[in-house]
Amino acid sequence: MDKTKIFVLILFITCQQSYCQTVELLGKVKSTSDVENIHIINKTAQKFTITNIHGTFRIAATLNDTIIFTSVQHKTMSVIVDDEIIKNKTLVITLEEQINELDQVVVGKILTGNMLLDVSNVKDEPMTSLKAGIPSYQGRPKTQSERRLNEATTGGGFLPLNPILNAISGRTKELKNRIKLEEKDALMQDIKVRLSVDLFSENPLAEESVMEFFYFVSEQPDFLERCKHKTSIEVLDYLIAKLKIFKQILNSAKIYEVD
């Protein structure tokens, strides 16, 4: 075996050890308010748990996993699992209390009926690079995972090494999966904000199970197909159907606990 093959083999083994080592994290959530029943979701591995009365929890994770902390009374927080967390097998975070405030009211200019005066009071739209004819990127900003995927699949020189090495180590596939998970999470959060009132007014669900239900929905194989770029009525019909299934699972779990 020549030196090149040995180098690639060693690199592959090292990458596999770095990216695939799964450990059980012992975590603790701190806050000025109640820390019981806070939802902890490993979005990358699609694992879920909640905190106990003391704010402690256990959850499996690997390097670079995204762990989300969410509850009704706290602001949502995301943590990327780094080398130090894997080494110490501990994760301690402090959540900020959620304070609900009314949207700021902005009072605009009042039209007087005098055309010349009203036209002079109307401000022009802001100048942009597109209006000025300057070439620039006009799409939405890329997420961190999308930027990493672009870096992992591109390279320079006669033989770009990044795409080759990342394909061997599985990092490219991991980043693609992470982008899909982020897309699901963003869509799920948007649906939760828009349709929660309409959904639960006719189909009540205990408050402590609401967040778990939406993550349950986002993990369904047909979630993106049925909810992305769909009307609110179509999405609401989908949520009602999934809510019936979710309630059946909850009831089965309660019966099992009693037995």
Residues in the chain: 259
Q: Is the pLDDT of residue 79 over 70?
A: yes
Average pLDDT score over residue span 224-233: 92
The DSSP symbol for 14 reads: H
Rounded to whole angstroms, the Cα distance separating 82 from 79 reads 9
Structure tokens at 93: 């975070």
Single out the residue of 91, 88, 37, 94 nearest to residue 208, CA to CA: 37
Return d(Cα 233, Cα 195) in angstroms, integer: 10
- Read off the pLDDT band of 164 (50, 70, 90): low
Rg for the chain, CA atoms, rounded:
24
Compute CA distances 129 → 78, 122, 124, 125, 139, whole Å: 33, 22, 15, 13, 13
What residues have CB less than 8 Å from 12, skipping those under 6 apart? 168, 169
Q: What is the mean pLDDT of the chain?
A: 75
171, 175, 181, 182: CA torsion to nearest 10: 150
What's the half-sphere exposure (Cβ side, CA atoms, 13 Å) at 44? 22
30: pLDDT strictly greater than 80: yes
Angle at the Cα of 193 (from 28 to 99), degrees rounded to 5? 55
97 has pLDDT over 70: yes
| Residue range 51-61, pLDDT digits in tens | 999 999 999 99
pLDDT exceeds cutoff 50 at 157: no
Asked whether the beta carbons of 42 and 61 are under 8 A apart, the reply is: yes
Specify the DSSP element, H or E, that contains 15: helix 3-20
Tell me what the mean pLDDT of segment 81-98 comes to: 90
> Taking the domain 21-94, which CATH number applies?
2.60.40.10
How far apart CA 64 and CA 86 sit, in angstroms, is 10
Query: pLDDT band for position 26 (50/70/90)?
Result: very high
Q: Locate CATH 2.60.40.10 in the chain.
A: 21-94
Q: For residue 116, which phi and psi values (nearest 5 degrees)?
A: -65, -40
Per-residue model confidence as pLDDT tens digits over 182-220: 888 888 989 999 999 999 998 999 888 888 899 889 889
pLDDT score for 71: 84
